[in-house]
Amino acid sequence: MPRLYRFILGLSRKHGLFTLARFHERFFGGDQYVDIPTGARLFIPGDPHYFGFLAGVHESHVTSVIASSVRAGDVCVDIGANIGYFSMIMARAAGPTGTVFAFEPVPDTFAALKINAGLAREDGLNIAPHQAAISADEGELVIERQLHSTLNQVRLIESDLDAPDSRVKCVTLENFLRREKVTGPIAFLKIDVEGHEVSVMKGAISLLKSGQVRQMIIEVTPGDDAIQLDQIFTECAAKTLVWAEGRWQDIPVRELQSRTDVMVSFASAK
């Protein structure tokens, strides 16, 4: 079925994605295990918002960058891993000797990520799932759930009215890697945290400046976030390309007009 969906979406240039998602939910709803295009087997919850994962057409430009960047034995980090779609793609590229550290704070989404980490382990691959948010400091954040299952957000605790069961542990990437004794290069870092990207980067600035990260894709929001991230990229002497109009373009990050992916390469990477 996923192959048929990919064929239909290819003919329609993905314009039929929402219609197919509704069709699939009505006639084939429920949790499923599917083979995605990279050959990995993936558990996908019965939720129409995950249909792009099921059809194997979710952000194919990111999949292409992973395929060209990650090699056997590499260490990768997936921040905002969701159910582990890209974590699995990274793990397949890194092979049995590689490792993917995957972070997802939302409890039910993390439960699906753990299932997919188990599937990877059955194939001799290594995904290390962690139920935590990555941020500028260590402590706790609040999860804000959205109607769209893949767009949940975290924010600072504002008052005692924030329910304890909505809180999640947060750590900095630098401290996490130090505790895990990861001192070698990070081949690929993916950051997609629905507006919390600046905080993630602030907690990883020394890591980036040291050249430990080789390549990164980060989703960036226009406005103040884009300006702050552009400054960080400049401080790290990084080269950036913006995904716009279906291709990677040399556009200043601070001039973004809509939320999109930015590919970042660090020339001084170890």
| Chain segment 213-233, per-residue pLDDT in tens | 999 999 999 999 999 999 999
| Residue 236 belongs to a domain | yes
| Residue 1 belongs to a domain | no
Q: With 90 as the cut, is the pLDDT of residue 195 above it?
A: no
| Residue 34 belongs to a domain | no
Residue with structure tokens 């890194």?
A: 94
| Residue 242 belongs to a domain | yes
| Residue 36 belongs to a domain | no
Question: Who's near 6: CB < 8 A, 6+ residues apart?
Answer: 37, 55, 56, 57
- Look at 165 and 7; give whichever has higher pLDDT: 165
Strand, coil or helix: what is 44? strand
| CATH classification at residue 73 | 3.40.50.150
Backbone φ, ψ for residue 62 (5° rounding): -70, -40
Give the HSE-up count for residue 39: Cα atoms under 13 Å, Cβ half-sphere. 8
| Chain segment 125-140, per-residue pLDDT in tens | 999 999 999 999 999 8
Type of residue found at 171: V
Helix 60-69 / helix 85-94 crossing angle, nearest 10 deg: 20
Token pair in block for residue 116: 């997919």
| Chain segment 201-216, per-residue pLDDT in tens | 999 999 999 999 999 9
Helix 85-94 / helix 107-122 crossing angle, nearest 10 deg: 20
| Residue 41 belongs to a domain | no
Backbone φ, ψ for residue 152 (5° rounding): -65, 150
**CA distances to 12, 39, 44, 161, 172 from 177, in Å:** 43, 29, 29, 33, 9
Query: Which residues constitute the domain of residue 232?
Result: 59-266
| Residue 233 belongs to a domain | yes
**Given this model, what pLDDT does residue 194 score?**
85
Strand, coil or helix: what is 19? helix
| Residue 228 belongs to a domain | yes
pTM: 0.84
Count of Cβ atoms closer than 10 Å to residue 9 Cβ: 18
How many domains are contained in the chain?
1
**Given this model, what pLDDT does residue 163 score?**
60
